Amino acid sequence: MTRVDHRHRHLDRIAEVRAGRVAEKVGYPIGIRTLEVVRTEMVGSGLIRLTLGGSGVDGFEAHVPDEHVKLIFADPDGTLRLPEPNGTMLKWPRPSPISREYTVRRFDPVARELDIDIAVHDGGLAAEWARTARIGESVHVAGPPGGLVVPTSYDKYLLAGDITALPAIARWLEEMPPTAEGWAVIEVADASEEIPLDAPAGVEVRWLHRDGAAPGTTDLIERAVRSLPVPGPSDDERLYVWLAGEAGTLKPLRRWVRDELGLSKHDHDITGYWKRGVADYDDDHGHEHDHEHHHGHGHDHPRG
């Protein structure tokens, strides 16, 4: 019996949205797979890169810069409870197993490798685990469930966020058309957390240093993006804005994008990846873009 491959449906839709006028979320079949740790390395002083591989990679799909996967961990008593495939979706056990969400930083189907960059912080479940992960160790990965496809037709792009958003911003810059123009603004602790970025010539990269301030406590990103010469409501140029990071710091920027820049919901995506004092933050509520899945990213910062 011939198995019908329906993948072309979402691939066609992705191509259609990318060539169109407005951004849209496109879902793809959600899988659960067991991968192996191939290697780990530091990327700057603020990110641990977890490279995963093995035969479980077969069939993995990656299409957009801010798509994410969930790493699933065993319960405190050692019991591993994994979701089960259910058509193109997953059926999750109740209560939900312990999991953390991370951006797909890189997927190489030829090398059969998947990179996930995890923000380093004391007490973070996944960061602590990644720090001591052994080569060959199994990792259970769910997703991606799809992602936000952004057309290449915008005149200007503004990407901004803190180190938890840096993996997505880095991939955004690599995958943009070489003719793209705009700005990438990234808040880090200091110069040691800066990493090389492969940005189009027309995209200005600006690093902001906290200089000792705790993550999620500054208005550095807000002040920096407000100072940029971005197109306004009366300009002919079309602007796309993508912002991610600590939920509280993004609040005033939601208002700025909506009220001052006058952007429609299709022309921006603003996501709280973590929240000060909340171990496993989920930005389901108040998400500006109506995704069918959350981007909590579980950066489980213990601070605050």
Q: What is the pLDDT of residue 52?
A: 98
- Token output for 130: 């990644």
Question: Could you list the pLDDT tens digit for every one of the 304 residues in the chain?
Answer: 444 455 578 999 999 999 999 999 999 999 999 999 999 999 999 999 999 999 999 999 999 998 999 999 999 999 999 999 998 899 999 999 999 999 999 999 999 999 999 999 766 888 889 999 999 999 999 999 999 999 999 999 999 999 999 999 999 999 999 999 999 999 999 999 999 999 999 999 999 999 999 999 999 999 999 999 999 888 899 999 999 999 999 999 999 999 999 999 999 999 999 998 776 666 543 333 322 233 334 343 332 2
Task: Tell me if the bond preceding 167 is cis, omega within 30° of 0.
Answer: no
Distance separating alpha carbons of residues 21 and 261, to the nearest angstrom:
18
**pLDDT recorded at residue 282:** 63
CA distance 116 to 259: 35
| Structural domains of the chain in order of their starting residue, each with its CATH number | 21-147 (2.40.30.10), 150-285 (3.40.50.80)
> What are the φ and ψ backbone dihedral angles of 286, each rounded to 5 degrees?
75, 15
CB 239 within 8 A of CB 256: no
Contacts of 203 by beta carbon, 8 Å cutoff, 6+ apart: 157, 173, 176, 180, 181, 182, 183, 184
CA–CA gap between residue 296 and residue 243 (Å, rounded): 14
Q: Which long-range contacts (CB under 8 A, 24 or more apart) does 11-14 make?
A: 11/63, 13/149, 14/63, 14/64, 14/149
pLDDT of residue 283: 57
Beta bridge partners of 252: none
Looking at residue 299, its pLDDT comes to 41
d(CA 285, CA 279): 16
Q: What is the pLDDT of residue 303?
A: 26
pLDDT at site 278: 75
* H or E stretch covering 125: helix 125-132
How far apart are the two ends of the chain, measured CA to CA in Å? 58
Instruction: Read off φ and ψ for residue 271, nearest 5 degrees.
Output: -135, 125
Model confidence pLDDT, tens digit, residues 1-15: 444 455 578 999 999
Distances (CA, A) of 163 to 134, 158, 192, 254, 274: 25, 16, 12, 19, 11
Q: pTM, whole model, 2 decimals? A: 0.90
